[in-house]
Amino acid sequence: MSLSGTVIRPQAETVKARWPDERELLARVSTGDLQAFERLYRIYQPRLARFLISMLQRQQLVEEVLDDTMMVVWQTAGSFRGSSKPSTWIFAIAYRKALKAKARWPDPVEDEEYDTRVSDDPAPDEQLHHQRLHNALRDAMEKLTPEHRAVVDLTYFHGMGYREIADIVNCPVDTVKTRMFHARRRLRQAMPGNLADWL
Partner 1 sequence: MSYPTLPVEEAHDEAEELLPWYVTGQLEESDRIRVEEHLSSCGSCREQLAFERRMVQEFRAQAPEVDSGWARLRDRIEERGQAPSPVRRAANDLWNVFRQPGVMALAAAQVGFLVVGGSVLLSLSQPSYRALGSAPTSPTANMIVIFRADATEEDIRDVLKANGASIVDGPTSADAYLLRVPTRQRQLALVRLRSNDQVQMAEPIDGAAQ
**Alpha-carbon separation of residue 58 from 29, 52, 63, 180, 187 (angstroms):** 29, 9, 9, 22, 20
Q: How far apart are CA 169 and CA 189, in angstroms?
A: 25
- Torsion angle (degrees, nearest 10) of CA 163, 169, 173, 178: -130
Minimum Å gap between C-beta 136 and partner 1 is 10
49 binds partner 1 (CB under 8 A): yes
- Give the containing element (helix H, strand E) for 126: helix 125-143
Among residues 100, 157, 170, 192, which is the contact residue for partner 1, using CB under 8 A?
A: 157
Listed ranges 88-96, 101-109, 118-126, 152-160: which one lies at the site for partner 1 (CB under 8 A): 152-160
Q: Which residues of 128-144 are buried (b: 16+ CB within 10 A; e: fewer)?
A: eeeebbebbbeebbeeb
Among residues 15, 70, 90, 94, which is the contact residue for partner 1, using CB under 8 A?
A: 70
Q: How far apart are CA 84 and CA 81, in angstroms?
A: 8
**Site string (19-48) toward partner 1, x via CB under 8 A:** ----------xxxx-x--xx--xx--xx--
Among residues 132, 156, 171, 186, which is the contact residue for partner 1, using CB under 8 A?
A: 156
83 binds partner 1 (CB under 8 A): no
Query: How many residues are listed for the chain in this entry?
Result: 199
- Residue ranges that bind partner 1, judged by CB under 8 A: 1, 3, 6-10, 12, 29-32, 34, 37-38, 41-42, 45-46, 49-50, 53, 59, 62-63, 66-67, 70-71, 74-79, 81, 114, 116, 133-134, 137, 152-153, 155-157, 159-162, 177, 180-181, 184, 187-188, 195, 198-199
